[in-house]
Amino acid sequence: MFDWQDLRFFLAVAQAGSLSGAARAMHVDHATVSRRLNLLEDKLQVRLVDRQPRACLLTPLGEQVAQLAAQMEASAFAVERATRAAQLPLVGKVSVSAPPVLAANFLAKQLFAFRQRYPDIQLSIASQVQSVSLSRREADIAVRLFRPTEQSSVARKIGLMPFALYASKDYAHSKTPERWEFIAYDASLSEMTHQKWLLEVANGRRIVSEVSDITSQCVAVRTGIGVAGLPCFLGDGDPQLQRLHVDGEAFAREIWIAVHTDLRHTPQIRAVMDFIIDAVKAQWSND
């Protein structure tokens, strides 16, 4: 009988399309993935993958095995979720994935209040730009600034996070909008709604700097280098910044929360979700 762990590495290769991509997904080195794949093929005495310089292509048999492996993995995760749901209520560890701006500047600030209310739940907050798979147990709960689309999860919009333009209080050109220079994201994030809004506002005015995340943009704008589009809860609460008023339509990001269907009624996960929803409503109740 083959080793299930070897099959997991093969599935990671099938999903990533390369040994290096699978290594990143499995948090191991390239050589480990290659060795595990060789062990599986040797045990089954078949070739599942055609290794090419920059990619791995599945053989026809590899395609069939990958489909079966995905079903096996889904069943294994379902077993984990079912046993997790049977744990004692309000005890255990709950993991929450959130974008950096909410993880660092909002959720982390709620930890003390959460601990006071639920002393036996260990809350684990992961700051992640990319989406996570709830079905693969990469997180128990996902908080996102867009509607999650994973079919096995249920999602709910819980708030709106408004944005505005900000500059440091000693910004030299705060009274002369035609001389404003802007802090934006880099080109790799050009499809973000936040980036599109900022570039529309800039309307051809100079982008003086590109910074990859909102928290770092907040630090950059304090230096007086230019104007940034920041969430109002950050900008208004920063004594070093001033809000700049411009004509045009207001901009806001939706805040969504999602959980796998199998876990949504688990007591400790339900408690964490309700706490986050209440905290969001308290922060943005007037928006």
| Residue 136 confidence (pLDDT) | 83
Euclidean distance between CA atoms 259 and 255, whole angstroms: 14
Q: What is the pLDDT of residues 222-240, one digit of tens each?
A: 999 999 999 999 999 999 9
* The CATH fold of domain 89-287: D-Maltodextrin-Binding Protein; domain 2 (3.40.190)
Tokens 């260990």 sit at which residue?
122
Helix, strand or coil, per DSSP, at residue 26: helix
Q: What is the pLDDT of residues 129-161, one digit of tens each?
A: 878 888 888 899 999 999 888 888 899 999 999
Q: How far is CA 241 from CA 49, 224, 235, in A?
A: 55, 9, 6
Asked: is 4-85 a CATH 1.10.10.10 domain? The reply is yes
Helix, strand or coil, per DSSP, at residue 46: coil
Euclidean distance between CA atoms 272 and 98, whole angstroms: 13
Residue type, 252: A
| Residue 66 confidence (pLDDT) | 87
Q: Where in the chain is the domain with CATH 3.40.190.290?
A: 89-287
Beta-bridge partner residues of 56: 51
Q: What is the pLDDT of residues 50-67, one digit of tens each?
A: 888 788 888 888 888 888
Residue 68 banded pLDDT, cuts 50, 70, 90: confident
Question: Whole-prediction pTM value?
Answer: 0.69
Q: Take residue 67 and report the two structure tokens written for it.
A: 């489909």
More confidently predicted of 116 and 7 = 116
Q: Where in the chain is the domain with CATH 1.10.10.10?
A: 4-85
Report the half-sphere exposure of 65 (CA within 13 A, side-chain side): 24
Q: How many CB atoms lie within 10 A of CB 237?
A: 10
Q: Return the beta strands (E) in the chain as ranges.
A: 49-51, 56-58, 92-98, 121-127, 141-144, 153-168, 182-184, 207-210, 227-231, 241-244, 251-260
Nearest Cα residue to 221 out of 163, 178, 286: 163
Residue 86 banded pLDDT, cuts 50, 70, 90: low
Q: How far is CA 213 from CA 232, 242, 243, in A?
A: 15, 20, 19
Is the pLDDT score of 85 beyond 60? no
More confidently predicted of 4 and 177 = 177
